[in-house]
């Protein structure tokens, strides 16, 4: 009897979302337009390869705006920043380019709007994540973070009729709704955000993994350990039926032992991962007999975001007045 054919199921969509694409291009164009160094507050996106590549080209990554020399140029990452960060940058006379993903900006606007109307805002997200810090910073006196199930019992609201939930854009859809259901048990009047906070790309990548995982003994997710949406894909894969799932930055991090007894390997990548890393993984798998690749498509993404206005203005000026 012949051995079963080894194969790869490749999720689509995977990899770069529109917000990540915009943020990475922003730093690349800033380096081209203004020349290095270009300072970037925090990691522009949560991917090791992207950060190291931009660092080699002259980007300098800092933790806070006060590490940037007075008057220099700083790019704010795709995850967004609190108003206090803009104030710190202005106090140091920094030139700023805000590469916050427009979908994160939308959640910031929601936080400001509901704080203005004096709501208690329950923000579902991971403690310490840059996006959560930026959103909570819009209305710190109105926002309470709900991360784990036990946080639900700690929430205190002033008026149960004026409570709304918002969420970090990169969470697991299922886990978020589980938290919302727990909150609603305590606060039946809990209101939903005016539009879905979880990013379209995060949802699409999770849907693709759910479609693929039941047929896979192993799902490999390309992404970095500090990438929230990539870590969620690992969890979703196992919940959807994969026997095992692992997160790797590079193909060489895959352990040969993971492939023992595996006929079908699922492959996907987080929203901040360039596709070249996925292609490297496919080549690595092909060398080990997994050369047959079938793409599992659950959506076709056509969304693109314009570059930040301050960068667009300078790009236009440099075209009109070439040196």
Rounded Cα gap, residues 247 and 35, in angstroms: 35
CA angle, 231 then 280 then 16, to 5° = 50
Query: For residue 196, what pLDDT is reported?
Result: 87
Give the least confident one: 26-30, 121-125, 194-198, 216-220: 194-198
Catalytic: 131?
Answer: yes
How many residues are there in the chain?
323
Q: What is the DSSP string of 218-283?
A: EEEEE--TT-HHHHHHHHHHHHTT-SEEEEESSGGGS-GGGGTT-SEEEEEE-TT--HHHHHHHHH
Q: Which of 75, 3, 82 is nearest to 40 (CA)?
A: 75
Which residue out of 131, 133, 138, 217 is catalytically annotated?
A: 131
Question: pLDDT by residue (tens digit) across 221-233?
Answer: 999 999 999 999 9
Classify residue 166 by burial, with Cβ atoms within 10 Å: 0-12, 13-18, 19+.
buried
Q: For the residues 265-270, what does the mean pLDDT come to?
A: 98
CB 265 within 8 A of CB 218: yes
- Residue % of the chain over a pLDDT of 90: 95
201-205 mean pLDDT? 96
Given a cut of 60, whether residue 300 has pLDDT beyond it is yes
For 139-155, what is each residue's pLDDT tens digit? Answer: 999 999 999 999 999 99
pLDDT at residue number 2: 61
Average pLDDT of the residues of the chain: 96
Helix, strand and coil content of the chain, in percent to the nearest 5, comes to: 45, 20, 40
Threshold 0.85, pTM exceeds: yes
Residue 181 bridge partners (DSSP): none
Q: Tell me: the pLDDT tens digits for 9-52? A: 999 999 999 999 999 999 999 999 999 999 999 999 999 999 99
β-pair partners for 222: 248, 269
CA gap 98, 76 in Å, rounded = 5
**Strand (E) or helix (H) holding 35:** none
């Amino acid at each position: 009897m012949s051995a079963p054919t080894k194969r790869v199921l490749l999720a689509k969509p995977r990899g770069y979302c529109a917000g990540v694409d915009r943020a990475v291009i922003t730093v690349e164009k800033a380096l081209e337009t203004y020349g290095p160094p270009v300072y970037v507050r925090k990691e522009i996106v949560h991917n090791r390869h992207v950060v190291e590549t931009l660092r080699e080209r002259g980007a300098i990554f800092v933790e806070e705006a006060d590490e940037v020399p007075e008057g220099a140029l700083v790019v704010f990452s795709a995850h967004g920043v609190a108003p206090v960060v803009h104030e710190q940058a202005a106090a140091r006379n920094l030139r700023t380019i805000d590469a916050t993903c427009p979908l994160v900006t939308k959640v910031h606007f929601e936080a400001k709007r509901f704080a203005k109307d004096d709501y208690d805002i329950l923000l579902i997200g991971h403690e310490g994540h840059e996006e959560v810090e930026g959103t909570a910073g819009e209305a710190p006196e109105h926002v309470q973070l709900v991360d784990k199930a036990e946080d639900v019992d700690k929430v205190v609201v002033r008026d149960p009729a004026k409570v709304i939930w918002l969420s970090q854009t990169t969470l697991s859809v299922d886990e978020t709704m589980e938290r919302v259901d727990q909150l609603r048990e305590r606060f039946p009047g809990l209101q939903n955000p005016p539009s879905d906070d979880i990013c379209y790309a995060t949802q699409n990548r999770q849907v693709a993994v759910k479609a693929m995982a039941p047929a896979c003994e192993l799902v490999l997710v390309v992404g970095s350990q500090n990438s929230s949406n990539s870590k969620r894909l690992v969890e979703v894969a196992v919940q959807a039926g994969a026997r095992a799932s692992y997160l790797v930055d590079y193909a060489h991090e895959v352990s040969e032992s993971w492939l023992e007894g595996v006929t079908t390997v699922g492959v996907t990548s987080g929203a901040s991962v360039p596709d070249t890393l996925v292609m490297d993984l496919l080549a690595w798998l092909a060398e080990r007999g997994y050369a047959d690749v079938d793409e599992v498509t659950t959506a076709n993404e056509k969304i693109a975001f314009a570059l930040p206005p301050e960068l667009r203005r300078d790009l236009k000026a440099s075209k009109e007045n070439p040196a």
